[in-house]
């Protein structure tokens, strides 16, 4: 299997994720502010009880996932974390 051949690799940790039984659209709000904020908060609540939250967040950061909720974070929060990481801020 190859990601370059348009085959999505199986990510074993995701098989234990709390979002497997949730509506996937919950994790992709149209906006993270205003009316989308409540949806984001519901997705975050699922993430915070997820046993693979840190693995999910590591994956999102390492693969530059710029859409949706990953590891309980919004795209803006991940961008800020990546920017701080590049600057050496912890």
Shortest Å distance, C-beta 1 to ligand SF4:
21
Residue keyed to tokens 């609540």: 45
Query: What is the C-alpha to C-alpha distance for residues 67 and 69, in angstroms, rounded to an integer?
Result: 7
User: Residue from 40, 47, 74, 78 that binds ligand SF4 (CB under 6 A)?
Assistant: 47
Residue 40 contacts ligand SF4 per CB under 6 A = no
Q: What angle do CA 75, 22, 26 make, to 5 degrees?
A: 35
Residue 40 or residue 70: which is nearer to ligand SF4 going by CB?
70
Helices 36-48 & 53-62 angle (0-180, nearest 10):
120
What are the residues binding ligand SF4 (CB under 6 A)?
14, 17-19, 27, 46-47, 50, 52-53, 56, 69-72
């Amino acid at each position: 299997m190859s990601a370059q051949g348009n085959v999505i690799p199986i990510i074993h940790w995701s098989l234990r994720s709390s979002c497997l039984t949730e509506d996937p659209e919950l994790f992709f709000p149209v906006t993270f502010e205003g009316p989308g904020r409540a949806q984001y908060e519901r997705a975050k609540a699922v993430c915070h009880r997820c046993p693979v939250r840190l693995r999910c967040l590591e994956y999102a950061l390492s693969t530059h996932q710029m859409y949706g909720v990953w590891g309980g974070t919004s795209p803006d929060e991940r961008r800020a974390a990546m920017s701080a990481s590049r600057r050496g801020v912890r």
